[in-house]
């Protein structure tokens, strides 16, 4: 944020290594991503070569151990990636390029060495694209209600069911799928993760058209008698629910980072416009009402960023019990997406007619606001989750 944050010097959260990585990423985004956003939005997907470029930059493997090709960075390295990627002003680019960050962690954390070698390693190298398939047409944020089944048949599981709103679902070579391996069980029991290859017979994909995130391919997946090798089971059969919930905590923190970072993009675009746009004998920044709008935007971004960084730091230091961490993570997602919503609205207002035109970052982000208030758990679910964790 101009005049408030110096992203070149180390501080409590970011070391010299973090900030050096930030500067290299900033140059990469400015050179290889931002100029191409409009073309990728029109195409509806990212070119595969971008995943390889991102892998060479260290983006794809930042949180993963060295034995699978990662760089074993800490969570603040992932924050750096998310903050800098957001500077392109296109959430769809960030979502699709980052779909591996939710699809592959269960494989690395709970999968066999063979699964990691065959699938995690090439994903982290940018040679394959990964996706996570949990959400179902009738389930939404209620993971425990999922209906997709995987019934053991010899040395295979037979998978039947549907998944929807799957980021990178059209291009994914590797799909981590939440299934019910015990069809009799209800609720959280009997849920497992299976790794399903993208060319598995019986897997059908249908592209979904969206309000925003146009550069991200999003799919509805249908599994019809898909035979998946039994050794593609990720972790212990029937214990996938807890793994899904832990995966969600990290995903929600990253959503919070992306949200306040997108809010920052809106703020910077609005500020630049207000400084050069002249009306009534002066620039817009000479109008008190505009200055107040900009200050309100800056305050909300600062609050969301500060809360999120504190939660991550305390998590890394092991300072909070799980229930407090889960509750504060839910709050951070709400706070950050509310900041994004507010800043996108105010930026479009400050830009006036230009804010309604495609081609401005604020117009694009305005269309993308709702996906972050829904994805990873809706605001309503987040509030209920925080209340239950805090005993309210």
Vertex 172, ends 199 and 136: CA angle to 5°? 95
Is 63 contained in some domain?
Answer: yes
The pLDDT score that the predictor gives to residue 273 is 94
Across residues 153-171, what is the average pLDDT?
96
Is 5 contained in some domain?
Answer: no
Answer yes or no: do 340 and 265 share one domain. Answer: yes
Q: Do residues 216 and 93 touch, judged by C-beta distance below 8 A? A: yes
Answer yes or no: do 262 and 375 share one domain. Answer: yes
Is 154 contained in some domain?
Answer: yes
Answer yes or no: do 252 and 385 share one domain. Answer: yes
Instruction: Annotate 265-326 with three-state secondary structure.
Output: HHHHHHHHHHHHCEECCEEHHHCHHHHHHHHHHHHHHHHHHHHHHHHHHHHHHCCCCHHHHH
Question: Which of 204, 238, 272 represents a domain boundary (last residue)?
Answer: 238
The pLDDT score that the predictor gives to residue 6 is 60
Is 1 contained in some domain?
Answer: no
Residue 357 bridge partners (DSSP): none
Instruction: Give catalytic status of residue 251 as yes or no.
Output: yes
| Residue 182 belongs to domain with CATH number | 2.40.110.10
Answer yes or no: do 264 and 357 share one domain. Answer: yes
Number of domains comprising the chain = 3
Answer yes or no: do 319 and 339 share one domain. Answer: yes
Is 11 contained in some domain?
Answer: no
pTM: 0.90
pLDDT tens string 280-312:
777 888 889 999 999 999 999 999 999 999 999
| Residue 98 belongs to domain with CATH number | 1.10.540.10
The pLDDT score that the predictor gives to residue 303 is 97
pLDDT tens string 96-123:
999 998 899 999 999 999 999 999 999 9
What is the Cβ-side half-sphere exposure of residue 259, based on CA atoms within 13 angstroms? 34
- Residue percentage of the chain with pLDDT more than 90: 80
Question: Which of 238, 266, 296 represents a domain boundary (last residue)?
Answer: 238
The pLDDT score that the predictor gives to residue 213 is 94
Question: Which of 80, 96, 124 represents a domain boundary (last residue)?
Answer: 124
pLDDT tens string 336-359:
999 999 999 999 999 999 999 998
The pLDDT score that the predictor gives to residue 190 is 86
Across residues 193-219, what is the average pLDDT?
96
Answer yes or no: do 114 and 148 share one domain. Answer: no
Bridging pattern class, strands 174-180 and 130-133: parallel
Is 3 contained in some domain?
Answer: no
pLDDT tens string 51-83:
999 999 999 999 999 999 999 899 999 999 999
Q: Which domain holds residue 303?
A: 241-389
Catalytic choice (136, 162, 237, 251): 251
Q: Do residues 121 and 134 touch, judged by C-beta distance below 8 A? A: no
Answer yes or no: do 217 and 319 share one domain. Answer: no
Is 4 contained in some domain?
Answer: no
Average pLDDT, the chain: 92
Q: Residue 11: pLDDT band by 50, 70, 90 thresholds?
A: confident
Is 278 contained in some domain?
Answer: yes
Q: Do residues 1 and 267 touch, judged by C-beta distance below 8 A? A: yes
Which segments of the chain does DSSP mark as H helices, in order?
16-28, 37-43, 48-57, 75-85, 91-97, 100-103, 105-110, 113-115, 121-124, 240-276, 288-317, 322-351, 361-374, 379-389
Q: Residue 240: pLDDT band by 50, 70, 90 thresholds?
A: confident
């Amino acid at each position: 944020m101009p005049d408030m944050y110096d992203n070149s010097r180390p501080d409590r959260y970011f070391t010299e290594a973090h900030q050096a990585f930030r500067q290299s990423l900033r140059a990469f985004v400015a050179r290889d991503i931002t100029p191409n956003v409009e073309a990728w939005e029109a195409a509806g997907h990212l070119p595969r070569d971008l995943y390889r470029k991102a892998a060479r930059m260290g983006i794809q493997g930042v949180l993963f151990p060295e034995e699978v090709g990662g760089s074993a960075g800490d969570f603040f390295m992932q924050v750096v990636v998310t903050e800098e990627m957001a500077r392109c002003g296109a959430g769809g680019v960030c979502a699709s390029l980052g779909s591996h960050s939710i699809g592959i962690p269960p494989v690395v954390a709970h999968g066999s060495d063979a699964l990691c070698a065959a699938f995690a390693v090439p994903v982290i190298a940018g040679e394959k694209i990964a996706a996570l398939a949990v959400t179902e047409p009738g389930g939404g944020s209620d993971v425990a209600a999922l209906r997709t089944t995987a019934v053991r048949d010899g040395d295979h599981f037979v998978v039947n069911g549907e998944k929807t709103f799957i980021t990178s679902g059209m291009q994914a070579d590797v799909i981590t799928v939440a299934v019910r391996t015990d069809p009799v069980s209800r609720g959280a029991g009997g849920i497992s993760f299976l790794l399903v290859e993208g060319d598995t017979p019986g897997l059908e994909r249908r592209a979904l058209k969206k309000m925003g995130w146009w550069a991200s391919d999003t799919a509805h997946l249908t599994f019809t008698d898909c035979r998946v090798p039994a050794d593609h089971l990720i972790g212990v059969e029937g214990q996938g629910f807890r793994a899904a919930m832990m995966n969600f905590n990290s995903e929600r923190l990253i959503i919070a980072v992306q949200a306040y970072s997108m809010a920052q993009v809106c703020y910077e675009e609005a500020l630049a416009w207000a400084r050069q746009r002249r009306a009534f004998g002066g620039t817009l920044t000479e109008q008190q009402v505009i200055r107040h709008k900009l200050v309100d935007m800056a305050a909300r971004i600062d609050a969301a960023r500060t809360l999120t960084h504190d939660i991550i730091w305390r998590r890394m230091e092991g300072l909070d019990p799980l229930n407090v961490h889960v509750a504060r993570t839910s709050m951070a997602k709400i706070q950050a997406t509310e900041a994004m919503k507010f800043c996108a609205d105010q930026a479009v207002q400050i830009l006036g007619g230009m804010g309604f035109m495609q081609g401005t970052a604020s117009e694009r982000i305005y269309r993308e606001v709702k996906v972050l208030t829904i994805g990873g758990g809706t605001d309503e679910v987040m509030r209920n989750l925080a209340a239950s964790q805090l005993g309210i």
